[in-house]
């Protein structure tokens, strides 16, 4: 038996102003494998994350679904919250009910709520099939290559070299300096460009 | 420049190109082609005897044809390294098979006509792209400005070479046609920039300021001179920029809002025809010199080097940053960063800032002992894989290779080919999983089973 | 080579010498010209600024008439050429106009006849000029003046580079003369304003003459009756208003080629010009 917790976010009025958020949370409770569902004003905030961590422990959750904004914004936030709750960070799934629902269906509140429930169901079904994933470690060659020896390349090379790393600077012309070396005084201070 | 050459941590390859890049963030393998300089720089002292005696004179690329250089040359007096190369396309020893003057006069025996191109392999953890820009080739499209037929219609970079104290004219502004000092100089901004018809849609960002500087220099260097600037807008967003522009106005530069429709020679003057759109009248100026602020375009060869290193270009051919605000110096390829005008037109302060930002990203990366690799990568089910290789060319990150496996089937040991994913290179885009006809490829975290469950949740 | 010849109204009136020289030169170069039967006005100036449909219809009928000959059109007049090219393009790309016009025409235009300017037609036998010429204009400095209509609008005309065309310059060189590099090859001569706003025409023609003279031209050649007329007839007036005494003969390019081919000046109409063409004849005879 999987134990999924669903957390539905209001995003203030961003989602809550359109979608009936408590109804989405209620509907989630009826979905397979869901043992806990609730809603909160700002799920990404510190109290919101604490809510997830506390619920995970109390209800012995083994996977988490957050219905809120785009994963581009807060996927990493909630993966870390899951990790703090003692779960594998990849045992987390997100449903985007802001960009995909409330922001684009502001005029159709009833249908928006139905769509939000659908998207939460999608996330719940996927969550049930999640497996823990683990990051692997790769080594690093502590040396940098800079291609182009104009002002940009020289500046980057010097900064990296000053930090103590080896730099290879490759320039196709017989001299470094690039366009900068061709210039006379430079604005706005009119100092020389050598 | 000198600081870069002298830094103990910087290894400088000039007259060289990167020809191959493989590997991935933290572990790139690169090949550098060191073009034959025909001069042994270990022996050369940079004394200059060879280029003094060289009998071949050609147009100097560095001075944009305003001055000459020899076939064995340093591009300019303060070049780094301050040691020459031989331009084999113009050197008599190479074009005609006889001369040998430079070899004879070299006191250290450094000139080596038999030197070959060399290929050097290196390993690096990060790459900074800083390939810069070139100027828009206005001569090809601006027929109304003469297609480059009039010697006294020049670009801002030509002006820079003339204004430079170490340049071909020793800092004197002259007309290239007759060497006379111009009294009336017309500047035209946005030549190729903000011109959908003939050039590029974007603003080149640096021109408003350098044109103001040029106008200032004309008024400062030439007594009694007039400077006219045709402009569409004056864009001076930058610290102390507006003040600089205001000072140029105070100096007496005449700003005329409007485009120039024609430049033509009459007598020894250039007639510049344009519109003053604020006054609503056509204007005609008898100019001695016309300076065009031509657009910045990606440096020649940008497309090739982007392909070699493995990242994408934007619609104008500049290097595409990962995100305009959240990842302005990153590319979508891990470990490859951008600095300067190769990412888009910018001026020197912005270039230096971006270069330091890219350096900070590199330092952050190289400071780690190990990298955590994102686990959302493709995996191959070897039992299902038929070895058709369809996935290999589809992978944009060159992460898929084929390998041989041996297995027992029907009591016999057989060998067959299957796909294998380099998880360090794989960026988890999923393109291969769609291409795989037998479903042997799966993206972790987005497996076929997981995706079908999602479909079921919504459709059933 | 055989073409349907579309003289247009100018070549039957103000530009008779263009008609005469075209026919003579074509004959000498083995180009057969068959006049388009029952041709009508090309629709230039007043026509196309009044009604687009009418202007296209006028051109389409001429194209249809030429089609009965099974020939492509050679149009000496730049204005005619431009109108015919526009009509051809509209009939090809605009089905609505095509149906409307073809429904009205006694014989529909089927899109098989194409229009070429006389400059293009003669440029195709440029080598012939070099082979057949009996007089060379070596050293004569000629400004090739295209006018606006041959090249503009460039998207439609696709004639040559609209800023610095070379076709006419190449024909000038074929006569042994030197084509001067100048910047007013495609500037407006004032054309259609000739009657309504003479002041502007005077300024525009003066600019053209001045730049040609400045670049060292001894003579200007043109391929447009309107340009020829403006540049030739107004030099006296320009002298009165601006004080410039240009004294630049304005020849049709066919006249210059005709002279090089040994055709008699009077057969080319050189005696009909306002500015004396004597200078050119003397140059020819001096060699």
Spell out the domains of chain A, with CATH numbers in brackets: 4-128 (3.40.50), 143-182 (no CATH)
Scan for tokens 């229009």, then name that residue: C115
Q: For chain B, which residues make up each domain, given as ranges? A: 36-116, 133-297, 378-459
Scan for tokens 């990962």, then name that residue: B322
CB contact under 8 A, B267 and C214: yes
User: Quick check: A175 contacting B, CB < 8 Å?
Assistant: yes
User: Quick check: C210 contacting B, CB < 8 Å?
Assistant: yes
CB contact under 8 A, A137 and B11: no
pLDDT number for residue C105: 94
pLDDT number for residue A186: 81
Secondary structure letter of residue B180 according to DSSP: P
Q: What is the pLDDT of residues B104-118, one digit of tens each?
A: 999 999 999 999 999
Q: Provide the whole-model pTM.
A: 0.84
Task: Determine the Cα–Cα distance for residues B133 and B206; give it in Å rounded to an integer.
Answer: 12
Determine the residue among B141, B265, B271 to mutate to test chain C binding: the one whose Cβ has the most chain C Cβ atoms within 10 Å: B265
Task: Determine the Cα–Cα distance for residues C85 and C60; give it in Å rounded to an integer.
Answer: 10
CA dihedral C153, C155, C157, C163 (to 10 degrees): 60
Domain C2-119, CATH = 1.20.1050.140
Q: What is the DSSP string of A128-163?
A: HT------EEEE---EEEEE--SHHHHHHHHHHHHT
pLDDT number for residue B267: 95
**What residues of B are in contact with residue C184 (Cβ under 8 Å)?**
264
The encoded tokens of residue B2 equal: 């000198």
Helix (H, G, I), strand (E, B) or coil at C131: helix
Nearest to C218 by CA among C142, C161, C153, C159: C142
pLDDT number for residue C48: 80
User: Subunits with at least 3 CB pairs below 8 A relative to chain B?
Assistant: A, C
pLDDT number for residue C129: 95
pLDDT number for residue A123: 97
pLDDT number for residue B20: 95
Helix (H, G, I), strand (E, B) or coil at B418: strand
Q: Which residue of B has its CA nearest to A160?
A: B359
Taking residue B182's Cβ as centre, other Cβ atoms within 10 Å add up to 21
The encoded tokens of residue B186 equal: 């017309």
pLDDT number for residue C287: 66
Secondary structure letter of residue B330 according to DSSP: B
CB contact under 8 A, B149 and C162: no
pLDDT number for residue A192: 63
Q: What is the mean pLDDT of residues A108-129?
A: 97
Query: What's the half-sphere exposure (Cβ side, CA atoms, 13 Å) at B30?
Result: 32
The encoded tokens of residue B415 equal: 């060998």
Q: What is the pLDDT of residues A69-108, one digit of tens each?
A: 999 889 999 999 999 999 999 999 999 999 999 999 999 9
Q: Which residue of B has its CA nearest to C161?
A: B143
Taking residue A12's Cβ as centre, other Cβ atoms within 10 Å add up to 10
B382 to chain A, closest Cα gap in Å: 20
CB contact under 8 A, A144 and B125: yes
Domains C2-119 and C134-286 fall in the same CATH topology:
no
Third-level CATH fold of B378-459 = Alpha-Beta Plaits (3.30.70)
The encoded tokens of residue C155 equal: 């998207």
State yes or no: pLDDT of A194 exceeds 60.
no
User: Between chain C and chain A, are at least 3 CB pairs below 8 A?
Assistant: no
Nearest to C76 by CA among C265, C228, C246: C228
- B window 331-370, beta carbon within 8 A of A: 339-342, 347-348, 351-352, 354-356, 358-360, 362-363, 365-370
Task: Determine the Cα–Cα distance for residues B116 and B358; give it in Å rounded to an integer.
Answer: 34
Residue C54: left if φ>0, alpha if ψ -120 to 50, beta else—which one?
Answer: alpha
Nearest to A139 among B26, B80, B354 (CB): B26
Helix (H, G, I), strand (E, B) or coil at B254: strand
Does the structure's ipTM exceed the value 0.85? yes
Domain B133-297, CATH = 3.50.50.60
pLDDT number for residue C41: 93
CB contact under 8 A, A165 and B123: no
pLDDT number for residue B380: 96
Task: Determine the Cα–Cα distance for residues B329 and B343; give it in Å rounded to an integer.
Answer: 8
pLDDT number for residue B398: 85
Determine the residue among B457, B458, B459, B460 to mutate to test chain A binding: the one whose Cβ has the most chain A Cβ atoms within 10 Å: B457
pLDDT number for residue A37: 97
Helix axes C95-104, C52-67, angle to 10 degrees: 60
pLDDT number for residue A193: 58
* Tens of each residue's pLDDT in chain B, 460 residues: 889 999 999 999 999 999 999 888 999 999 999 999 999 999 999 999 999 999 999 999 999 999 999 999 999 999 999 999 999 999 999 999 999 999 999 999 999 999 999 999 999 999 999 999 999 999 999 999 999 999 999 999 999 999 999 899 999 999 999 999 999 999 999 999 999 999 999 999 999 999 999 999 999 999 999 999 999 999 999 999 999 999 999 999 999 999 999 999 999 999 999 999 999 999 999 999 999 999 999 999 999 999 999 999 999 999 999 988 889 999 988 899 999 999 999 999 999 999 999 999 999 999 999 988 889 999 999 999 999 999 999 998 889 999 999 988 888 899 999 999 998 888 899 999 999 999 999 999 999 999 999 999 998 7
pLDDT number for residue C253: 98
Q: Does domain C134-286 have CATH number 1.10.287.3510?
A: no
The encoded tokens of residue B288 equal: 């001695």
Close Cβ partners of C196 (under 8 Å, ≥ 6 residues apart): none
CA dihedral B114, B117, B119, B120 (to 10 degrees): 70
Taking residue B448's Cβ as centre, other Cβ atoms within 10 Å add up to 13
CB contact under 8 A, A145 and B122: yes
Query: Are B196 and B220 a contacting pair, CB within 8 Å?
Result: no
Query: Are B188 and B222 a contacting pair, CB within 8 Å?
Result: no
Ranges under pLDDT 50 in chain C: none
How far apart are the two ends of chain B, measured CA to CA in Å? 67
The residue length of chain C stands at 287
Query: Are B91 and B72 a contacting pair, CB within 8 Å?
Result: yes
Helix or strand (DSSP H, E) at B95: helix B92-95
Q: Which residue of B has its CA nearest to C212?
A: B266
Nearest to B337 by CA among B45, B91, B130: B130
**What residues of A are in contact with residue B360 (Cβ under 8 Å)?**
159
pLDDT number for residue B373: 83
Query: Are A3 and A62 a contacting pair, CB within 8 Å?
Result: yes
A90 to chain B, closest Cα gap in Å: 8
Q: For chain C, which residues make up each domain, given as ranges? A: 2-119, 134-286
Residue B167: left if φ>0, alpha if ψ -120 to 50, beta else—which one?
Answer: beta
Domains B133-297 and B378-459 fall in the same CATH topology:
no
CB contact under 8 A, B160 and A183: yes
């Amino acid at each position: 038996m999987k134990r999924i917790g669903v957390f539905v976010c209001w995003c203030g009025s961003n989602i809550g102003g359109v979608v009936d958020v408590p109804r989405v949370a209620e509907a989630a409770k009826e979905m397979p494998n869901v043992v806990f569902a609730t809603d909160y004003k700002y799920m990404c905030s510190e109290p919101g994350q604490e809510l997830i961590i506390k619920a995970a422990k109390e209800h012995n959750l083994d996977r988490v679904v957050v219905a809120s904004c785009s994963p581009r914004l807060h996927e990493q936030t909630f993966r870390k919250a899951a990790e703090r709750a003692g779960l594998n960070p990849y045992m987390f799934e997100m449903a985007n009910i802001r960009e995909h629902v409330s922001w684009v269906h502001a005029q159709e509140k009833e249908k928006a709520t139905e769509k939000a429930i659908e998207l939460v169901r999608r996330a719940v079904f996927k969550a049930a099939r999640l497996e823990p994933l683990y990051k692997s470690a790769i080594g690093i060659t502590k040396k940098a290559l800079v291609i182009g020896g104009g002002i940009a390349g020289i500046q980057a090379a010097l900064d990296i070299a000053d930090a103590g790393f080896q730099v290879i600077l490759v320039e196709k012309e017989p001299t470094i300096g690039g366009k900068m070396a061709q210039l006379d005084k430079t604005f706005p201070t009119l100092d020389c460009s050598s | 420049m000198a600081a870069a050459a002298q830094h103990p941590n910087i290894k400088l390859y000039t007259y060289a190109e990167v020809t191959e890049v493989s590997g991935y963030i933290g572990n790139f393998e690169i090949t550098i082609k060191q073009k034959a300089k025909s001069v042994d720089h270990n022996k050369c002292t940079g004394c200059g005897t060879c280029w003094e005696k060289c009998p071949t004179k050609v147009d100097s690329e560095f001075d944009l044809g305003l001055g000459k250089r020899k076939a064995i040359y340093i591009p300019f007096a303060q070049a780094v390294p301050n040691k020459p190369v031989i331009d084999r396309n113009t050197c008599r020893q190479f074009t005609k098979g006889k001369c040998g003057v430079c070899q004879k006069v070299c006191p250290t025996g450094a000139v080596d006509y038999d030197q070959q191109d060399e290929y050097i392999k290196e390993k690096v953890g990060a790459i900074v792209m800083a390939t810069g820009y070139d100027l828009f080739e206005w001569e090809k499209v601006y027929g109304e400005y003469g297609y480059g037929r009039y010697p006294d219609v020049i670009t801002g970079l030509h002006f820079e070479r003339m204004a430079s104290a170490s340049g071909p004219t020793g800092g004197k502004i002259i007309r290239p046609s007759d060497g006379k000092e111009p009294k009336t100089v017309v500047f035209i901004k946005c030549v190729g920039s903000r011109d959908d018809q003939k050039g590029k849609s974007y603003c080149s960002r640096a021109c408003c300021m350098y044109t103001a500087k040029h106008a200032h220099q004309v008024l400062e260097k030439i007594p009694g001179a007039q400077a006219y600037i045709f402009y569409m807008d004056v864009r001076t967003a930058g610290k102390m920029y507006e003040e600089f522009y205001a000072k140029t106005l105070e100096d007496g530069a005449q700003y005329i809002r409007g485009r120039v429709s024609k430049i033509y020679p009459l007598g020894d003057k250039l007639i510049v025809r344009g519109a003053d759109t604020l006054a609503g009248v056509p204007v005609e100026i008898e100019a001695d010199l016309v300076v065009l602020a031509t657009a910045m375009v990606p440096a020649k060869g940008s497309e090739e080097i982007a392909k070699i290193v493995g990242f994408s270009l934007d619609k104008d051919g500049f290097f595409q940053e990962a995100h305009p605000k959240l990842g302005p110096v990153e590319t979508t390829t891990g470990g490859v960063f951008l600095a300067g005008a190769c990412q888009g037109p910018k001026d020197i302060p912005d270039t230096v800032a971006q270069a330091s930002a890219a350096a900070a990203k590199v330092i952050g990366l190289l400071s780690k002992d190990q990298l955590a690799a994102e686990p959302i990568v493709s995996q191959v089910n070897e039992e299902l894989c038929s070895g058709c290789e369809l996935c290999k060319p589809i992978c944009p990150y060159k992460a898929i290779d084929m390998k041989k496996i041996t297995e027992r089937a029907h009591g016999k040991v057989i060998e067959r080919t299957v796909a294998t994913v380099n998880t360090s290179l794989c960026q988890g885009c999923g393109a291969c999983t769609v291409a795989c006809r037998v479903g042997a490829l799966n993206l972790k975290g987005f497996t076929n089973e997981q995706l079908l469950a999602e479909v079921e949740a919504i459709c059933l | 080579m055989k073409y349907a010849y579309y003289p247009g109204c100018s070549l039957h009136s103000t530009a008779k010498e263009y008609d005469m020289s075209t026919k003579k030169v074509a004959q000498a170069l083995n180009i057969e010209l068959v006049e388009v039967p029952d041709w009508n006005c090309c629709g230039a100036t007043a026509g196309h600024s009044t009604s687009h449909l009418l202007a296209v219809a006028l051109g389409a009928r001429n194209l249809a008439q030429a089609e009965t000959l099974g020939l492509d059109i050679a149009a000496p007049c730049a204005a005619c050429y431009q109108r015919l090219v526009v009509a051809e393009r509209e009939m090809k790309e605009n089905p609505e106009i095509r149906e409307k016009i073809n429904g009205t025409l006694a014989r529909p235009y089927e899109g098989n006849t194409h229009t070429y300017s006389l400059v293009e037609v003669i440029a195709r036998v440029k080598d012939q000029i070099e082979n057949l010429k009996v007089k060379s204009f070596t050293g004569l400095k000629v400004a090739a003046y295209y006018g606006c209509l041959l090249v503009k609008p460039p998207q439609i005309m696709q004639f040559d580079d609209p800023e610095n065309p070379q076709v006419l310059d190449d024909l000038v060189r074929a006569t042994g003369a030197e084509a001067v590099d100048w910047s007013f090859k495609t500037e407006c001569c004032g054309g259609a304003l000739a009657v309504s706003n003479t002041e502007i025409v005077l300024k525009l023609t003066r600019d053209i003459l001045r730049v040609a003279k400045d670049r060292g031209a001894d003579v200007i050649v043109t391929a447009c009756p309107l340009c020829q007329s403006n540049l030739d007839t107004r030099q006296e007036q320009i002298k009165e208003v601006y004080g410039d005494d240009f004294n630049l003969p304005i020849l049709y390019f066919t006249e210059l080629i005709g002279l090089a081919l040994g055709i008699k000046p009077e057969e080319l109409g050189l005696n009909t010009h306002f500015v004396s063409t004597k200078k050119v004849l003397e140059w020819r005879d001096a060699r």
